[in-house]
Amino acid sequence: MIKTIKVAAFGLAVAVALGSLAGSPAQAAPFFKGKTLTLWIGGGVSGGVNLYGRTFARHVMRHLPGNPEFVARNLPGAGGMGAVTTLYNRAKNDGTEFATWAQGPITDPLLRPKRKYNYDMQKFVWIGSLQSNIQACYVRSDSGFKTVQDARDKAVKMAATGARSGTSKTPLALNAAIGTRFNPITGYRGSGGTYLAIERGETAGRCASYASLQAVHPDWIASKYVRFLVQIGPRAHPMLPGVPRAIDLALNDEAKALIRFMYQPLEISNAFALPPGTNSTRTKEWRAAFGATIKDPKFLAEAKKMKLELVPSNGERIGVVMAAIYATPKSILKRAEKAFRARKGRCNPKVSKKCKKKKKRKKK
């Protein structure tokens, strides 16, 4: 009798335990499992933004919970504005859409405050950035321009995409700050269009990211097909020895402030963003995946093979830099916008002895 009771009690305990397990909810699958994410790229397929963007996306998927797939959509033109407005206004803010673009759209709302922009750069949720970039102005070696002084003495055509893109803004800012005579020729479609313009001899060169040139056209550097005139950035690039920094050529303190304003966005180049309103859980997952990716041996090996420079910053750091950019004094912003309206450089007698003196009108 005692044995029968013990066996019955044991059977009841097992039944209760099994019933409890059967009634408990299954562990939820990771949010990203089985999903296909969308990467919006503010640039053409032949540019550095595209190269960095797709390379990062291929590897970061392994580090997101659920290991999702992704598709990339290129939106070239207007300095990457298409990717910015798409992410801000149309994209889902559930973590399944992200974007990357060049630096042009970052400062545009500051420089044209009277114009209405349908995005607020400070409201994006930042994942991280891959580069602290250096820009360089370079020309074909057979163009006749050998030094930055040559570009002060004589006008030089530089290939550019949109009028508000970095390929246009940078040379115009340098005209105002160091007295160059760069003449941006706008309208080329994406970075690929500007490279073709140089090859065809339509322009002498362009001002753009050194890292992008190194990734897309390392042959131009190795064969000395191009010559570097000046570099712009928070530091000198180790691969550009002897190439003067723009900050050291500035005409005055105001010019130095303008140059610093121009290179602030370069500190967070090749950044990745999520739409405003992305919740904290998705944000943490994305930022953790970014941190894991930039340490991933497979990612680092491919980046090295593709000659992609990496100087990463996390999402919090991007927010700090963005706040500093948007705190720029109005006096500097006005100087920058005036420089961009000029459209081309004029001979400055302070830095060039070849300026033609204006003939004085005879009094009647």
- How far apart, in whole angstroms, are the C-alpha atoms of residue 220 and residue 357? 39
pLDDT at 13 > cutoff 80: no
Local structure of residue 263 (DSSP, 8 states): H
Model confidence at 363, pLDDT cuts 50, 70, 90, reads low
- How far apart, in whole angstroms, are the C-alpha atoms of residue 262 and residue 239? 21
CATH code matching the domain that covers 135-264+330-342, chosen among 3.40.1380.10, 3.65.10.10, 1.10.1530.10, 3.40.190.10: 3.40.190.10
pTM of the model: 0.81
Q: What is the mean pLDDT of the chain?
A: 90
Report the share of the chain in percent with pLDDT over 90. Answer: 73
pLDDT at 287 > cutoff 50: yes
User: Mean pLDDT throughout 325-336?
Assistant: 94
Say how many C-beta atoms besides its own lie within 10 A of residue 25's C-beta.
5
pLDDT at 6 > cutoff 60: no
pLDDT tens-digit profile of 200-239? Answer: 999 999 999 998 899 899 999 999 999 999 999 989 999 9
Task: List every span in the chain annotated with CATH 3.40.190.10.
Answer: 135-264+330-342
pLDDT tens-digit profile of 74-121? Answer: 998 777 899 999 999 999 999 999 999 988 889 989 988 888 899 999
pLDDT at 330 > cutoff 80: yes
pLDDT tens-digit profile of 125-164? Answer: 999 999 998 999 999 999 999 999 999 999 999 999 888 7
Separate counts of helices (H) and strands (E) for the chain: 14, 11
CATH code matching the domain that covers 36-132+266-325, chosen among 3.30.420.40, 2.60.40.10, 3.40.190.150, 3.90.930.12: 3.40.190.150
Model confidence at 360, pLDDT cuts 50, 70, 90, reads low
Amino acid at site 162: G
Listed residue (105, 103, 89, 98) closest to 56, CA to CA: 98
Task: List every span in the chain annotated with CATH 3.40.190.150.
Answer: 36-132+266-325
The CA dihedral of 133, 339, 344, 229, to the nearest 10 degrees, is: -30
